[in-house]
Structures are given as structure tokens and as C-alpha cells.
Structure 1
Amino acid sequence: MKNVNLILVLLLLIFFACSSSEGDTRSEGVTGGYAVGDTARDFRLKNVDGKMVSLTDYEEAKGYIVIFTCNTCPFSKMYEDRINALHAKFADKGFPVIAINPNDARKKWGDSYDNMIDRAKEKGFKFPYVQDKTQEIARAYGATNTPHVYVLNKDRKVVYIGSIDNNARDAASADKLYVEDAIMALENNKAPEISKTKAIGCTIKWAS
């Protein structure tokens, strides 16, 4: 019984951490955004190493894995190791991960730039982790949650939008690897069989 109560408490904590959007809704932060088949805009955002990062920096890229994520969301934390693994598996094949933190640090101090630096060091991120300080890129892409993934081909055409896989809490139990499948399809000059899924995570914390 004690174990059951503990599980319930943990689930409630995750629920409130993700649902506490301080008045944020999809309509407040996002109007439109990209659909599969659209061409995504480039960006120039500050990485945790102090350098500016753009998609055009990757001259040999065959595509891109753009992930809107953050330091504080429990779901983002669940996926950090998997995001590292995606970059390790696909970056050398021409499909780098670029992680973007869109949260307003005034709403979530834990998502400040300094805390991003600390988190990247703590987790050993090998990919760029950049700050969308104005939230312009998150709005342009149509991101609503953390994490929220956009897989692009080499011409920045969107081929997949949604979740990384179908099991946030247990990587080993995930049997639908949406991002990996999308990259595999690109490598074979095909369209992914699944091109859109629901992004599961916390709402982006939009500036007032």
C-alpha cells in the first residue's frame, strides 16, 4: 500500500509540474507553425558554449533533428539520455541534433541561460543546446511542448513532427521510435511512414 501511495504522489508531482503553465495556452504562444512538407526557417541562437549556432553551419548535413526542450520539465529530463543517444547515433551520418530551449526564464528561472550551461555539463550534452530567448523560433515552428521534435531534410523541409518515441517514462519499453524511423527513411530517400505524432510534455512557458 505504501508503494502504491508513493507512485500516486510521484505521478501527481509530474502532472502539476507539467500542467502549471501559468496561464499559457497554445493560442497564446503559437498561431500556425509548420506542417509536414513546409520549409523551416533557419535561426541564429546562442549555444551554451557562447557561440552562435545556425542550421547553415552544417554544410554537409543530410538533415536535422531540431528538438525544443528545457531544463525543468520532467518529460524533457526523461528524454535527455535518449537525445544524447540520437546525436551519437546520427550526427556522424549527417543528421545532427540541435536542442532549443524556448522557455521564458522569468517564468521558469531553472531555464535561464546559466542553468542551461550547468545542465549541459551535468548531462554531458554533445549537441548544441541553444536559447530561444525571444521565443521567435518556437512560434515560427509551432512548438507547444517540451520536448517537441521537428525532423528536417537537407533542404529544411519538415518530414516529421512530434514525440521522440512512444514511451517517455521507459526507453526500453518504447516500441515506436518515431525520430529514428524518420531518419532511416531519409537515409533511404523515402518519406517516414509516420510523419506526425502528439508531442507529450510540458507546455512551453511563454513570455507575458
Structure 2
Amino acid sequence: FSKKNFNFPIIQDEAQVLVKRYQALKTPFAVILEKQQDQTYKTIYQGGVSDQRDFTQSKAHFLDENLKALSQGKTVKYAVGQSLGCYIRRL
């Protein structure tokens, strides 16, 4: 992530506040929040990055497709995606 120039925040949740809030079980786990008119945030996606552990074999790239849709002013295609990686150890 350090080599990419994202125009949105990347959060490392070392205290596991968001892990608990979103009940994340495995990595990688992504959350896309949309700012509302009342300045609150609505969760529009939560879950894994793609539908396969081997990204090159994926048919659905949940995070990438959703970010592309949002950048084009469209709604997200996926609201939830399964995380397929390692379990997140609870502190």
C-alpha cells in the first residue's frame, strides 16, 4: 500500500476497534464507508478483496470493482464479500 497513491485513508487497526465493530474474522478485510449528508458514515461494503485466494484466478474482485464503480459515480456491485485469508487473532 505504501507504493500506491490512494486518495482515501488506509487504517491499520492495531487496537482492533474496527475488527470488533465489523466482526472481521479473516484477512484481508476491507470496509468502504460513504459519508452521508448529516456527516455520519454508512457502510457500503465490507469483506474480502476477491473471491479466490489466488488473485489471478478470481472471477470477482470485490474491492477493486466497488472502488471503480464509486469513482465512476455508480453504486457498488457488492455489499459483502467473503474473506479467505488467515484468521484474525483477537487481543
How far does residue 150 in structure 1 lie from its aligned partner after superposition? 0.8
Q: Which residue of 2 aligns with 1:179?
A: 63
Counterpart CA distance in 2 for 1:176 and 1:95 is 22
Counterpart CA distance in 1 for 2:76 and 2:45 is 7
Q: Which residue of 1 aligns with 2:12?
A: 100
Question: Is the radius of gyration larger for structure 1 or structure 2?
Answer: 1
Specify whether residues 167 and 99 from structure 1 end up closer, same or farther in structure 2 by C-alpha distance, changes over 3 A only.
farther
Q: Which residue of 2 aligns with 1:77?
A: none
Equivalent residues of 2:52, 2:84 under 8 A apart = no
Q: Which residue of 2 aligns with 1:150?
A: 31
Number of equivalent positions: 87
- Structure 2 unaligned runs (5+)? none
Greater helix content: 1
Counterpart CA distance in 1 for 2:22 and 2:32 is 11
Q: Which residue of 2 aligns with 1:162?
A: 47
TM-score, normalized by length of structure 2? Answer: 0.72
Match of 1:136 among 17, 38, 42: 17
Equivalent residues of 2:45, 2:80 under 8 A apart = yes
Q: Which residue of 2 aligns with 1:196?
A: 80
TM-score, normalized by length of structure 1? Answer: 0.36
**In percent, how many aligned pairs have the same letter?**
22
Counterpart CA distance in 1 for 2:78 and 2:21 is 22
How far does residue 99 in structure 1 lie from its aligned partner after superposition? 4.3
